[in-house]
Amino acid sequence: MKKLLLAGMLAATTAGAAMAAPVTYNLDPGHTYPSFEADHMGGLSTWRGKFNKNSGKVVLDREAGTGTVEVEIDVDSIDFGHDKMNEHAKKGEMFDVANHPTATYKGKFVDFRDGAPTAVEGELTLRGVTRPVRLTINHFLCKEHPMLKREVCGVDAEGSFQRDEFGVDYGKQMGFLMDVRILIQAEAIRAD
């Protein structure tokens, strides 16, 4: 009887450990929008834009309180809602898309509360320059997708950086502020 009880406890422990394994999710590019806000003319107005093409993955272990995120952004997909501004932003004096067609963000989830991360410590690579950028997660939720019948996780996150630190210093001499606020709405679908 003791052996049977011990075997049952071992099986339950093993099953619990298997359930706590990290899970991989693929970003849904149709529901993921890395957007940003940047100054125009030293406080005259705020320009808002987004990138329409991206890809990436998230690996998450909510029970262990660990996880990673990797995102690649097609910089040529920049969209201010203003064609001339889009073309200008792609040129060498700004994003230099011809030489730097992608931007990447790689980070680790930190500060888990009730199985949900509240921040990401990571590195943004833009125009070939890599710098640390912390993202604060304002909202995080995982649930079954009603149409796909698979788990999907969604996040609303934000952060900021100084664009001249990445070589995007257009307008600095004219008094443009270099602060950029990033706002990310993303959904990722469980891979398996």
What is the DSSP annotation of 77-117?
GEE-S-HHHHHHHHSTTTT-TTT--EEEEEEEEEEEETTEE
| 138 Cβ contact partners less than 8 Å away, ≥ 6 residues apart | 156, 157, 158
DSSP SS3 for 5: helix
Q: What is the pLDDT of residue 20?
A: 64
Looking at the DSSP bridge assignments, the partners of residue 71 are 56, 105
Which long-range contacts link 129-137 to residues 24+ away (Cβ below 8 Å)?
A: 129/165, 129/166, 129/167, 131/161, 131/165, 131/166, 133/105, 133/159, 133/160, 133/161, 133/182, 134/159, 135/107, 135/159, 135/182, 135/184
Q: What is the pLDDT of residue 19?
A: 54
Q: Which amino acid belongs to residue 72?
A: E
* Domain 22-190 CATH superfamily: Lipid/polyisoprenoid-binding, YceI-like (2.40.128.110)
Q: What is the pLDDT of residue 104?
A: 98
Q: What is the pLDDT of residue 14?
A: 43
Q: How many CA atoms lie within 13 A of 15 on its CB side?
A: 6
Domain boundaries, the chain: 22-190
Q: Which amino acid belongs to residue 152?
A: V
User: Among 155, 146, 149, which residue's Cα sits nearest to residue 188?
Assistant: 155
The pLDDT profile of the chain, 192 residues, written as one tens digit per residue, is: 444 434 444 444 444 444 569 999 999 999 999 999 999 999 999 999 999 999 999 999 999 999 999 999 999 999 999 999 999 999 999 999 999 999 999 999 999 999 899 999 999 999 999 999 999 999 999 999 999 999 999 999 999 999 999 999 999 999 999 999 999 999 999 998
Residue 164 and residue 123 in contact, taking contact as beta carbons nearer than 8 Å = no
